[in-house]
A and B are shown apart, each in its own frame.
Chain A
Amino acid sequence: KQEVTQIPAALSVPEGENLVLNCSFTDSAIYNLQWFRQDPGKGLTSLLLIQSSQREQTSGRLNASLDKSSGRSTLYIAASQPGDSATYLCAVLGNEKLTFGTGTRLTIIP
């Protein structure tokens, strides 16, 4: 059974800093990995999708990497802003089922 873990569970950093969120998964037989953000009381917004054959994806200040063999992904956020405050979830797709991580609650301090 796939298990997805995100560390840390919560993170607070001053505005302007670069930061890294971590995601690890136990079964490397995945189709893809997706990073989402969720604001309080809202739905999930997709940030980046990495297919299993890819190593990384970039969108603006965000960069996500995937190392399938070690079961790890990182989400790098450059020059953090208060608007980046949210919960970040990673999810892996395998055997037609999406398994979510436990999430990292990020707070950017102005």
Chain B
Amino acid sequence: DVKVTQSSRYLVKRTGEKVFLECVQDMDHENMFWYRQDPGLGLRLIYFSYDVKMKEKGDIPEGYSVSREKKERFSLILESASTNQTSMYLCASSSTSPGQGLHYGYTFGSGTRLTVV
């Protein structure tokens, strides 16, 4: 079964810490995404990547950075964690077949519940 794996289900960090959230997919997908989900705000796109070493800002990139050194791994970095970054973080991957005009569905990981204290 295809999978997107997020390294931690629950994480508690202190304000000011540098935090790494890891995401690995085993589907050879070229596209990877990081979202955060908050009650009443839905899912918001933080960063995405269409290829190795490529990154694009989403809707709310402030306070975050990303790294994609290998095709299967996409890391989200909180440079200096703050309490307003307490949230559920979701990683996703997808694939595109431009020659066939097809965009395949997104596969999500199980999420990381991050609490910053």
Contacts and interface: CB of A to CB of B under 8 A. Distances in A.
Given A31-B103, A32-B105, A34-B105, A43 B90 contact: yes
A32 B103 contact: yes
Interface residues of A, number: 20
A46 B43 CA distance: 15
Contact of A102 (B42, B107, B108): B42
A13 interface: no
Nearest to B112: A43
A77 interface: no
Contacts of B6: 43
Interface in A55-110: 89, 91, 93, 97-98, 100, 102-103
A interface: dominant SS = strand
B67 interface: no
Interface residues of B, number: 19
Interface string B91-117: 010000000001111111111010000
A43 B105 contact: no
Contacts of B108: 36, 43-46
Nearest to B6: A43
Contacts of A103: 42
Given A32-B103, A49-B104, A42 B110 contact: yes
A12 B28 CA distance: 40
Given A43-B109, A43-B110, A93-B106, 7 more contacts: A43-B6, A43-B111, A46-B106, A46-B108, A49-B104, A51-B102, A91-B106
Interface of A: 31-32, 34, 36, 41-46, 49, 51, 89, 91, 93, 97-98, 100, 102-103
| Top-6 shortest CB links A-B | A49-B105, A44-B108, A31-B103, A43-B110, A43-B111, A43-B108
